[in-house]
Amino acid sequence: MVQAALPGFRDFYPSELAERAHIMRAWRDVMRRYAFVEYDGPPLEPLDLYRAKSGDELVGQLYTFTDKGGREVALRPEMTPTFARMVAARANSLRKPVRWFSIPQLFRYERQQKGRLREHFQLNADIVGEGSVAADAELLALAIDVMRSLGLGVSDVVARVSDRRLLQAVLTTEGVSEDSLPDVYGVIDKLGREPVDVSREKMSSAVGAALADRILAIVNHSGLEDLAKTYVGVDAVAPHVDRLHEYFSYLQALGVSDWVKLDLSIVRGLAYYTGIVFELFDARGEFRAICGGGRYDALLDTLGGVDLPALGFGMGDVVLGDLLRSKRLLPTASTGADFWIAGDHQCLTSSVMSVATRLRGHGRSVEYALKPQQLTRQLKTASSAGAAAAVLLLRDQFSDGEVTVKNLRDGSEQTLLLEDFINSQR
């Protein structure tokens, strides 16, 4: 019986790998244009690294074991703790701001569902050492530019933005107590994923019915200008509104403001976010979040003892691939060689290999039959393999230094000197 891949894991046949490679090329190209440099870390880390960041509740979702040295270790479920550890180790010598990215494979033992597997590849981009709102705008522009580079537009993707500091200021101004904030955040974070009645009931349990209705109205219907008018003169709120005005002006300068909307329901489930946060969604709401991130100024201190402002995002390949596939924006695998070299007699085998080697030396992809075959069989195989052209070494021509190049797409042929043909491929 043929064994299948483990549940939640993927086999990448050439067609699927072509799709993944297409996404990763776009990731790396945009990172290069934004002057980010690539790094990587080990796929196996001490389990305590993840306990320090997310607590014991995350441990149940990890692939963990005790290694032969008696150490508790885990396959990495995310990259930020590794990134924080690496930056902290060389914090004094790194040029600031740090602009790094990575494309790790990550692992979590979770229930499989649409857009979520037990492994995935993820683009991580982080900026360390810059506390200005310009860095927040740069990071979001980077994420949006990835969408644009893959052929998506403002009608396909929306970036929903909030600020944890603004939301907290609004909630406390409205009368939410410090003790009730975690419960209120939990309800807000699930808006749109739970029925409205359920959200209202949970919010009412936390703060009372009247305040619950007020909070839900603010979160669901307030734009930045609405908030500016509602809380004009309120010292606790005004600085955060001003910061977002500055942020949106930078997004306009970066050419991405049309993609972005304020949405106070974007809380981000991870407790370490401290400032502006964002998530990218498909405009129709058919998929999970494509990307999420924000500012996490306290995390490096928590994990590495280095007090530096920081922000970043993660963008997985699963949901992004599903969205691109639905829009017919993913390529098909191109497996055909540039040239198939074929000889009409076994005595030409060494010459076939020599011509193939010279063409490969010029960067061409080349294939030939690895055992003696009739010329007609070789040409049939070349066509079925998707080769663009066949280079025919025919005894009566090759003795005069000539080859025939046959276009396998339209059947056209031309005969020319081998050296002229080889030189034309430089």
In the chain, the percentage of residues whose pLDDT exceeds 70 is: 98
Quote the number of domains for the chain. 3
405 and 388 belong to one structural domain:
yes
Among 277, 280, 304, residue whose Cα is nearest residue 290: 280
Q: Residue 385 is part of a domain; what is its CATH number?
A: 3.40.50.800
Structure tokens at 405: 């190049």
When pLDDT is cut at 50, 70 and 90, the band that residue 273 belongs to is: confident
Q: Which of 249, 269, 289 is the last residue of a domain?
A: 269
Q: Which of 306, 335, 364 is the last residue of a domain?
A: 335
Q: Which of 285, 311, 335 is the last residue of a domain?
A: 335
In a domain, 284, yes or no: no
318 and 344 belong to one structural domain:
no
351 and 322 belong to one structural domain:
no
127 and 2 belong to one structural domain:
yes
* H-only helix segments in 338-413: 349-361, 375-384, 395-398
112 and 225 belong to one structural domain:
no
82 and 186 belong to one structural domain:
no
Neighbours of 105 (CB within 10 A): 12
In a domain, 226, yes or no: yes
CB 291 within 8 A of CB 279: yes
pLDDT of residue 318: 95
User: What's the rounded Cα separation, in Å, for the pair 79 and 176?
Assistant: 34
The residue range of the domain holding 181 is: 150-269
In a domain, 139, yes or no: no
323 and 353 belong to one structural domain:
no
When pLDDT is cut at 50, 70 and 90, the band that residue 279 belongs to is: very high
pLDDT of residue 57: 66
pLDDT of residue 271: 65
In the chain, the percentage of residues whose pLDDT exceeds 90 is: 69
In a domain, 138, yes or no: no
Phi, psi of 35 (to 5 degrees): 65, 30
86 and 199 belong to one structural domain:
no
HEC assignment per residue over 262-301: ECCCCCCCCCCCCCEEEEEEECCCCCCCCEEEEECCCHHH
Hey, what amino acid is at 250? Answer: Y
204 and 108 belong to one structural domain:
no
Among 42, 47, 121, residue whose Cα is nearest residue 82: 42
DSSP string, 52-99: HHH-GGGGGGS-EEE-TTS-EEEE-S-SHHHHHHHHHHTTTTS-SSEE
In a domain, 142, yes or no: no
pLDDT in tens, 160-207: 999 989 999 999 998 888 888 888 888 888 887 888 888 888 888 888
- Of 105 and 50, more confident: 105
7 and 127 belong to one structural domain:
yes
In a domain, 45, yes or no: yes
Q: Residue 15 is part of a domain; what is its CATH number?
A: 3.30.930.10
CB 159 within 8 A of CB 144: yes
pLDDT in tens, 121-152: 999 999 999 999 999 999 999 999 999 999 99
Q: Are strands 98-102 and 119-128 parallel, antiparallel or unpaired?
A: antiparallel
169 and 211 belong to one structural domain:
yes
60 and 76 belong to one structural domain:
yes
Q: Which residues contact 407 (CB under 8 A, 6 or more apart)?
A: 388, 389, 413
pLDDT of residue 298: 85
In a domain, 366, yes or no: yes
In a domain, 177, yes or no: yes
